[in-house]
């Protein structure tokens, strides 16, 4: 395999790179000024399957919205809209 790659490089053949989707803040896209703690489906997008809050380097949130979303998730946990721990957390509907 290594030989083939080198041959391509010698012959100036371009190897196509994997396309990576550009991350963006999902809250900024809809211009959200207030994030509701009752909207479970929106908030589950920022959690992993175990129910932990994901850091913005995975989700692409801006700094301001990351803080607000984290606060909303914590509120919805206290009111039992979202679990503290989960085995396979997925958005309903």
Binding site for other proteins (CB under 8 A): 33-34, 36-38, 75, 77-85
Which of these, 69, 2, 63, 83, lies nearest to 37 by C-alpha position?
A: 69
By beta-carbon proximity to other proteins, the closer residue of 20 and 85 is 85
3-state secondary structure of 47: strand
Report which of 23, 22, 27, 21 is spatially closest to residue 73, judged by C-alpha positions: 27
Rounded least distance, CB 92 to other proteins, Å: 10
Alpha carbon distance 4, 52 (integer Å): 43
The tally of CA atoms less than 13 A away on the side-chain side of residue 59 is: 24
Nearer to other proteins, 23 or 74 (CB): 74
- In angstroms, what is the minimal distance from the CB of 71 to other proteins? 10
CB of 48 to other proteins, least distance (A): 16
Pick 54 or 81: Cβ nearer other proteins: 81
């Amino acid at each position: 395999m290594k030989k083939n790659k080198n041959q391509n490089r010698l012959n100036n053949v371009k190897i196509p790179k994997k396309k990576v989707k550009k991350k963006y803040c999902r809250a900024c896209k809809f211009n959200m000024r207030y994030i509701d703690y009752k909207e479970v489906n929106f908030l589950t997008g920022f959690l992993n399957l175990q129910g932990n809050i994901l850091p913005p380097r995975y989700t692409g949130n801006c700094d301001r919205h990351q803080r607000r979303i984290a606060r909303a998730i914590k509120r919805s946990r206290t009111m039992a809209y979202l679990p503290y721990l989960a085995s396979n957390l997925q958005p309903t509907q």
